[in-house]
Chains A and B, each alone.
Chain A
Amino acid sequence: EAEVAQSPRYKITEKSQAVAFWCDPISGHATLYWYRQILGQGPELLVQFQDESVVDDSQLPKDRFSAERLKGVDSTLKIQPAELGDSAMYLCASSLGKDRWTEAFFGQGTRLTVV
């Protein structure tokens, strides 16, 4: 069964360090999302890609966060420098295409702890 792959599963980093997360969507999925989920809350969108283009990064803290999807396949989300408040689950999801009806499927997530 096709899955969204994410790595690492867990990451502990010190405040002010840089950290990066990787996501490989389901093959053929053009839309890729990065979400952040704080414990007890629903996922919040950080950035949405359509192929290699960013279509929504309005909630991405651009002073410290960056995201890229250079070849329109896998993607990297970076935080530099990390802050204590960045501790959360970072979720990647993908959907088939531009059609607004298509469903989004999540990877297993990366649990980030900033100490």
Chain B
Amino acid sequence: QKEVEQNSGPLSVPEGAIASLNCTYSDRGSQSFFWYRQYSGKSPELIMSIYSNGDKEDGRFTAQLNKASQYVSLLIRDSQPSDSATYLCAVKRPRGSTLGRLYFGRGTQLTVWP
């Protein structure tokens, strides 16, 4: 079982719609959760972090965390063609100290069409 699972997509939504990206993780001890955006040929860019159950909103982005279900999601409202990218879910697991290892899913490719 992989540490972090994502649907690879592709996910295709029209401009202005809500895009919903999902991620599950295997270790219940995980405590820090991140979403990165990666444009083709570029490096990952951090867009959201979430540490406690519930929703966290930042502009058009909302991250949702449900630790009981080991589930993290990212909602993108009013999707724009410029949001077309691969979205990586990352989970940090503590390793018996404060140092954590960051595990990534394989990413979900999102296409927003005009």
Mark A residues whose CB is within 8 Å of B.
31, 33, 35, 40-45, 48, 50, 55-56, 89, 91, 93, 98-101, 103-109, 111
Distance of A100 Cα from B31 Cα, bound (Å): 8
Which residues from chain A contact B41 at a C-beta distance below 8 Å? Answer: 111
Residue of A nearest to B40 (CB): A39
Task: Classify chain B: how many residues form its interface, as a range.
Answer: 20 to 34
Q: Binding site of A, secondary structure by majority: helix, strand, loop or mixed?
A: strand
Question: Closest CB of chain B to A54's CB: distance in Å?
Answer: 11
Distance of A19 Cα from B34 Cα, bound (Å): 31
A-B contact sample (5 more), CB < 8 A, given A40-B106, A42-B6, A45-B102: A42-B4, A48-B101, A100-B98, A103-B46, A108-B42
Q: Let me know if B101 and A42 touch, CB within 8 A.
A: no
Residue of B nearest to A56 (CB): B101
Distance of A44 Cα from B105 Cα, bound (Å): 9
B92 interfacial contact with A, CB 8 Å: yes
